[in-house]
Chain A
């Protein structure tokens, strides 16, 4: 079990550039979550998918953020255009079932710095 795999581990970009974060969930997990972590706001849920379908994107901060899950083994979170306030650690997590019985399995995150 390779765990949840995120890439890149670190991303440094200039304001205005497009950023794409990638996630490969654990095989067989049917729920996928994108979180953002900052010192000021802690861990925020941005969006989650169930069976590749976006269920709740109410946490996505604004239209500059978009997420896709084209198949069960891949998801992307895109920021276009990026801004310095988007600097944070972005985590992807997956779960094999509903959260009554199943915990979240987190990747090691992508640390994004927008200058």
Chain B
């Protein structure tokens, strides 16, 4: 079963604009991770945020976590065509770090 639900399912923007994707989850978590998947490729880890953290940055990426609302957001600033991909959130679903359960993903299209 899906633990995370990303919103929106698809997002289309122009280069230079910011892209925001949201993830909601159901159970208590220990951490939340974001991954990117380019077409025809495996997932690539972007960023990990622990349950006691509220915000984390990595380059043009900014992730927030609100455990009271069971939600997270991924912001990509100054997007580029190369950011076109699907983005997934994943949590341990309270399994004690044993496994990751992935959300349904947001398909991002960045047009030049």
Contacts and interface: CB of A to CB of B under 8 A. Distances in A.
Contact of B102 (A4, A42, A107, A109): A42
A2 interface: no
Contact of B100 (A4, A104, A107, A108): A104
B45 interface: yes
Interface stretch (B13-21, B36-44, B75-83): B36-44
Contacts of A103: 33, 35, 45, 48
Interface of B: 2, 30-31, 33, 35, 40-45, 48, 50, 88, 90, 92, 97-105
Contacts of A43: 43, 88, 102
A45 interface: yes
Contacts, number: 58
Q: Which of B40, B50, B88 neighbours the largest number of chain A CB atoms within 10 Å of its CB? A: B40
Contacts of B30: 100
A100 B49 CA distance: 9
Nearest to A33: B99
Interface string A62-76: 000000000000000
Contacts of A101: 48
Interface residues of A, number: 22
Interface in A57-115: 91, 93, 98-101, 103-109
Contacts of B50: 100
Interface string A23-55: 000000000010100000011010010000001
Given A42-B2, A104-B45, 13 more contacts: A42-B103, A43-B102, A45-B101, A93-B42, A93-B43, A99-B31, A99-B98, A99-B99, A101-B48, A103-B33, A104-B35, A106-B44, A107-B42
A108 B2 contact: no
A105 B45 contact: yes
Contacts of B31: 99-100
Nearest to A105: B45
A14 interface: no
A115 B13 CA distance: 38
